[in-house]
Each structure stands twice: as structure tokens, then as C-alpha cells.
């Protein structure tokens, strides 16, 4: 009967609801058949036109299928909030009517779900297809793109589950729909992207060691881009402090607005709730973004991930982002010898500071890209340019910081701290 829905909770308001025209078996059958067709085409074509391994062809199939699902299926949901009112038996509407039995947040057009699915459809979908193309044509950026796309998929799944748990996890009509749709249908986006992330990370690190892929796609650069999108240590450290202090306080102290002791973090959080407020009739603690005061599930999910993932990642990015020079550090019978690759640089372009008090040596400088008028186009550039900074701590009291020898020979900076 039109207007009455089968979803949980029963008091969910869905005016104009129209029941499915197709049964669950018919919907799953058509969806499965379409998946098999796409898989077959994605498996055969790369084998005909490129030299790809079986694993690479499987990855092409995965990214092609998921890309089409993101763009077509999830894209329809993101831009069709009234799909449950469909009276024509449109197949995509039938899919979401059926899937809502496992998670009714889709039928109610929950804001967190819409945000995740919208970003997935607009960004992740095209990126998946581009990743499939990159693998098939063996582009140099294929591992970077796979890593970025898989991180996005995994991140979206984490947000999806955390928000459901925080809201009570009561959106399925039965255990069958819960485990078949809510758990089973989404589990591939947790397992496969995780394995792809590990594989791509290893490949990137290996290529960095062999100097095979241009260093602009090095592991440390990727980490800096994905974690902070910043090349300034100050900014990274500031973001880290926010992730590990303020956001930690918001997540684990939901009643911060009740604080009567004048806690710095409570005062700061309350102040943040006042920013960008345009409604003077709201209560004092509801100004600005009141979702922090109401312990909104989406906000808590995002802040929790920031604490446990992006906070530490920013710290790691801040420690490695300036390591742009390859260094070898050895101890001989008479000295500690530090050898750093600085091709094309002279002694005046490198700053070496020796601190006897902290027993440290700091090497820094800027390697500038030469300007060449006769070059028409740069086809491959695996050299690193820009600012670099390295710090070496020699706690051994045998080292004599008053006897330090520094010179450059054949593009290598030699720093010798003698032990006698």
C-alpha cells in the first residue's frame, strides 16, 4: 500500500512511499548479471591490448566495477532524494528501495550518507575508472592513484559504519538484511582497498629505492599530500596539535559545555561553537555549528578518525617531508662520517650548523632547478628540488665537536666529526 514502508524504525516518515515492483531475487539477479558482463569485458580487453599480469587484470576489473557503481548507482541516490516515491519501476530506484531494508538511512536521506555517497559518486567514481586505465596502460602514476582511491573508499566505509554505530545501529528490518546488505554488501570495500593500500605502499617504496618512478611520487611526498596537503612543518605541527588535543577533547568529553572549572579546552570548544553564528535567537551553546554541542554522529566520526589516523599521520609527515637528500652515516676508527648527496650544489649553498651543547649537526639548503632556455620539454625529471633539512644527533661523548671537517667532493657533502 502506498505510503506505508517496511523499513526500520517504523516511525520513519516517508510520505508518498511506493513499494518495490521487483522482488529481491530479481534485483540481485540483474545487478549480478551486469557485474559479470562488466567483469568479463574488463578482464578480456586488457589482455588483448596490453601486457598485464593476472593480478593487474583483477585490479582493472575491481576499479572498473566499483567506478561504475559509484558513478551510476550511488550517483543516482545522491541526486535523487525521493527515489522511494518512484512509480515506474526504475531499476536504480528499485535497488535503493531494496537496500534500504538493510540500512534505512538511505530512505530517510541521512545527511552523513548523502555526503559520503555524493563525494564517492563525483570524485571516487571517475578516479576508479582512471585508475583502471592507468593500470592497463602502465602509467607511472598508477600506484599513487590506486593508493589515493583505495584510501578514499576505506575512509568512506569507516565513516559509514561509525555513524551507524553512534546512531544506535537499528536501521535493518531483520538480521538477514543486516548481514546480507549492511555487512556483506559493504565488506568488499573494506577488505580489497586495504589490501590494495598495502600493495601500492610497498610498490611505491620499492620504486623509490630503485629510482624507477619519478620522485615526485615518492612515499614521503604522498604521505605529506594525503595527510596534510601542506609543505610547512609549522602548519603540520599546528594541525597535529588540534587533532590530538582539541578534537580528542571533543570526542571523549561530549558534555564539555557543562564545564564549571574554566578548562582551557572546554572554553575553546565553546568558543568554536560561536563562530559564524547568524541566529541570535538560539541558545548560547547552540550558536554557530551546534553539532558539536549535540554530539552529532557525523562530527564525532570525523573527529575520531582525525585523532587516530590523521593526527599521527601529520606528525609522521612533519618528520619526513624535508628528507629530500639521501644520506649515509658511518663510524670509522677515527671519526663519525656523514655523507649526503647534494649534486649540483656548492659549499656556499649549504648551511651546516654544529652545536656542541646539544651535540647535533644540522644540514640545510635549497636545491634550485636550473633554467635552461634550449629545453623544449621535460619528458622525465626524477631529481628533487627545493628546501631540505636534516638533523643528526651524536650523543657519543667520544666525538669531538671542536674537530669537524666539512667539504664537498663530486656532488657529495662530507662531514667528519673526529673522535680524538
Q: What share of the chain is helix, strand, coil (3-state, %, to 5)?
A: 55, 10, 35
Residues in the chain where the model's pLDDT stays below 50: 1, 209-222, 225, 229-234, 236-244, 249-250, 256, 264-268, 272-286, 321-322
Residue 84 CA to residue 5 CA, distance in Å, equals 9
19's grid cell: 513499494
pLDDT for res 293: 61
pLDDT for res 55: 93
pLDDT for res 44: 92
pLDDT for res 356: 82
**Residue ranges, CATH 2.60.40.790, the chain:** 327-418
Nearest CA among 337, 345, 338 for reference residue 365: 345
pLDDT for res 37: 96
Protein fold of 327-418: Immunoglobulin-like (2.60.40)
Report field, pTM of the whole predicted structure over 0.85 = no
Residues in CB range of 108: below 8 A, 6 or more apart = 12, 13, 14
pLDDT for res 373: 64
Residues in CB range of 67: below 8 A, 6 or more apart = 124, 125, 126, 127, 128, 129, 131, 132
Q: Which residues of 342-374 are buried (b: 16+ CB within 10 A; e: fewer)?
A: beebeeeebebeeeeeebebebebebeeeeeee
Handedness of CA 310, 122, 135, 35 (dihedral sign): positive
pLDDT for res 240: 46
pLDDT for res 280: 36
Amino acid at each position: 500500500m502506498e505510503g506505508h514502508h517496511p523499513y526500520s524504525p517504523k516511525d520513519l516518515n516517508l510520505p508518498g512511499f511506493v513499494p518495490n515492483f521487483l522482488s529481491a531475487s530479481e534485483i540481485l539477479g540483474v545487478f549480478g548479471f551486469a557485474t559479470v558482463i562488466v567483469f568479463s569485458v574488463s578482464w578480456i580487453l586488457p589482455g588483448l591490448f596490453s601486457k598485464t599480469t593476472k593480478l593487474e587484470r583483477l585490479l582493472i576489473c575491481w576499479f572498473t566495477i566499483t567506478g561504475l557503481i559509484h558513478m551510476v548507482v550511488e550517483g543516482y541516490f545522491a541526486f535523487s532524494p525521493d527515489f522511494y516515491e518512484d512509480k515506474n519501476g526504475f531499476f536504480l530506484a528499485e535497488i535503493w528501495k531494496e537496500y534500504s531494508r538493510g540500512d534505512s538511512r538511505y530512505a530517510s536521506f541521512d545527511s552523513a550518507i548523502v555526503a559520503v555517497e555524493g563525494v564517492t559518486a563525483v570524485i571516487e567514481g571517475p578516479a576508479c575508472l582512471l585508475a583502471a586505465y592507468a593500470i592497463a596502460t602502465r602509467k607511472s602514476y598508477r600506484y599513487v592513484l590506486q593508493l589515493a582511491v583505495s584510501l578514499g573508499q576505506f575512509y568512506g566505509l569507516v565513516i559509514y559504519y561509525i555513524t551507524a554505530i553512534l546512531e544506535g545501529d537499528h536501521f535493518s528490518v531483520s538480521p538477514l538484511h543486516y548481514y546480507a546488505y549492511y555487512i556483506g554488501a559493504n565488506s568488499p570495500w573494506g577488505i580489497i582497498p586495504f589490501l590494495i593500500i598495502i600493495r601500492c605502499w610497498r610498490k611505491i617504496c620499492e620504486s623509490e629505492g630503485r629510482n624507477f618512478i619519478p620522485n615526485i611520487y615518492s612515499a614521503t611526498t604522498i604521505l605529506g599530500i594525503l595527510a596534510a596537503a601542506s609543505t610547512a612543518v609549522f602548519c603540520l605541527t599546528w594541525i597535529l596539535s588540534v587533532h590530538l588535543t582539541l578534537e580528542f577533547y571533543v570526542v571523549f568529553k561530549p558534555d564539555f559545555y557543562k564545564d564549571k572549572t574554566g578548562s582551557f579546552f572546554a572554553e575553546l570548544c565553546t568558543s568554536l561553537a560561536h563562530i559564524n553564528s547568524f541566529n541570535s535567537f538560539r541558545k548560547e551553546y547552540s550558536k554557530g555549528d551546534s553539532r558539536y554541542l549535540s554530539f552529532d554522529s557525523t562530527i564525532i566520526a570525523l573527529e575520531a578518525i582525525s585523532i587516530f589516523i590523521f593526527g599521527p599521520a601529520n606528525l609522521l609527515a612533519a618528520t619526513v617531508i624535508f628528507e629530500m637528500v639521501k644520506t649515509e652515516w658511518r663510524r670509522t676508527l677515527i671519526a663519525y662520517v656523514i655523507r649526503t648527496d647534494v649534486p649540483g650544489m656548492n659549499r656556499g649553498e649549504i648551511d651546516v650548523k654544529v652545536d656542541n651543547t646539544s651535540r647535533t649537526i644540522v644540514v640545510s639548503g635549497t636545491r634550485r632547478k636550473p633554467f635552461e632556455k634550449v629545453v623544449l620539454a621535460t619528458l622525465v625529471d626524477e631529481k628533487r628540488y627545493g628546501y631540505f633539512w636534516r638533523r643528526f644527533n651524536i650523543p657519543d661523548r667520544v666525538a669531538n665537536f671542536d674537530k669537524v671537517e666539512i667539504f664537498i667532493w663530486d656532488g657529495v657533502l662530507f662531514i667528519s666529526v673526529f673522535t680524538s
